[in-house]
Amino acid sequence: MNYPLDAQVTPRFAGSPTFFRLPQQNNLDGLEVAVTGIPFDSAASFRPGARFGPRAVREMSSLLRPFNRVLDIDPYKILNCADVGDCPVNPFDTLESLDLMAERYHEIARAGVTPLSFGGDHLVALGELRGIARARGPVAVLQVDAHLDTWDSYFGSKYTHGSFMKRAIEEGLVDVAHTLQVGIRGPLFSSQDMADVRALGIEILPMDAIVDWTVDQIAAAIHARVGSAPVFLTFDVDGVDPAFAPGTGTPEIGGFTSQQIIALLHRLRGVNLIGADIVEVSPAYDNAGITALLAARVGYEVLGLLALQRKKGA
Ligand code: MN
Ligand code: MN
């Protein structure tokens, strides 16, 4: 069983960083969770730099201790996890990169391993969902994001980080009836943007509608929508307010606090999670590494949820 490096032996600032200080593994043998970097940002529409996200998250994840006090679980004692390295990408060829991501995710999903990835811009979720759907059919998507990501195209390109959700639904990768977006806010190009997303059939919890809700109420709405469907969590860090997550490509004010997000994740106990990604960390804009730390923490909470799920099912 893999376990993070012992901080009593190797201090948390020492050594080469891997995700959560886990051992690095070049194959999926014996794993329950494969933690992967996807260093691709060629589909970003504003500030690029998320290609450096996985490295930054690896570094800040060194700070996280193994035991989850709130969930009362040490995920690494339940789930065999490893840092399986970065997915191969071609920074000059988006379509080829999507194929490479889909191939990687297909391999992981087919092996019965749960993927947890750090991007990369949000287009990486399209590659991931292609791989998952190829292995097991469409899955529900829980998208935490300031943005809809349902543009049809941008500058003539169908494959941008603002289009991943539209493409994923068009390609039949998404269980639309159990899919929802949380945290949507900010100005749009036109009223058509909203009409387009409504036509896709997904549920939207925009920030203005939930601003007075408790975290319990938001969690209840998520549970009601996803039910027992297999869910892929795609967590765009810009869903969190730029005061807490400045290191991102397309910041949008008026978002969740980091405290709300962690509390919300704790309340997702019982959601049938089959994988997750945390995307859009752009370290060049990240004061003091707080966005990378947030991304690492979100991933760690996901590991806790997966461990609880496993314990319950075992
Ligand atoms: Mn997004
Ligand atoms: Mn976004």
**What is the 64 CA–ligand 1 centroid distance (Å)?**
25
> Which ligand approaches the C-alpha of residue 126 most closely?
1
Q: Which of 276, 269, 272, 273 is nearest to 308 (CA)?
A: 269
Is the pTM higher than 0.95? The answer reads: yes
Average pLDDT over residues 208-229: 98
User: CATH classification of 19-313 is 3.20.20.410, yes or no?
Assistant: no
**Distance from residue 45's CA to the centre of ligand 2 (Å):** 11
Distance from the alpha carbon of residue 204 to the mean position of ligand 1, in angstroms: 14
The Cα 262–Cα 43 span in angstroms is 28
Q: What is the predicted pLDDT for the residue at 314? A: 63
- What 8-state DSSP symbol labels residue 178? G
Q: How far apart are CA 171 and CA 95, in angstroms?
A: 15
pLDDT at 178 over 70: yes
**What proportion of the chain, given as a percentage, has pLDDT over 70?**
100
Q: What is the mean pLDDT of residues 103-130?
A: 98
Q: Which ligand is in closest contact with the Cα of 124?
A: 1
Q: How many helices (H) and strands (E) does the chain have?
A: 10, 8
Interval 147-166: pLDDT, tens:
999 999 999 999 999 999 99
Task: Note the pLDDT tens digit of each residue in 64-100.
Answer: 999 999 999 999 999 999 999 999 999 999 999 999 9
pLDDT in tens, 6-26: 999 999 999 999 999 999 999
CA distances from 205 to 38, 129, 138 (A): 28, 22, 22
On whether the CB atoms of residues 132 and 292 are closer than 8 A, the answer is no
Mean pLDDT, the chain, integer: 97
Cα dihedral 161→57→178→186 (10° resolution): -50
Look at residue 177 and give its three-state secondary structure: helix
Q: Among candidates 100, 90, 22, 10, which has minimal Cα distance to 51?
A: 90
Distance 98 CA to ligand 1 centre (A): 16
Is residue 280 within 8 Å of 52, Cβ to Cβ? no
Ligand 2 centre from 309 Cα, in Å? 28
What pLDDT is stored for residue 23 in this prediction? Answer: 98
Q: Report how far ligand 2's centroid is from the alpha carbon of 161 (Å).
A: 8
Q: Which of 261, 313, 306, 314 is nearest to 71 (CA)?
A: 306
Distance CA(42)–CA(159), nearest Å, equals 10
pLDDT for res 313? 79
pLDDT-above-90 percentage for the chain: 97
**Interval between CA 239 and ligand 2 midpoint (Å):** 6
- The model's pLDDT over 31-62, given as tens digits with 9 standing for 90+, comes to 999 999 999 999 999 999 999 999 999 999 99
Tens digit of pLDDT for each residue in 237-275?
999 999 999 999 999 999 999 999 999 999 999 999 999
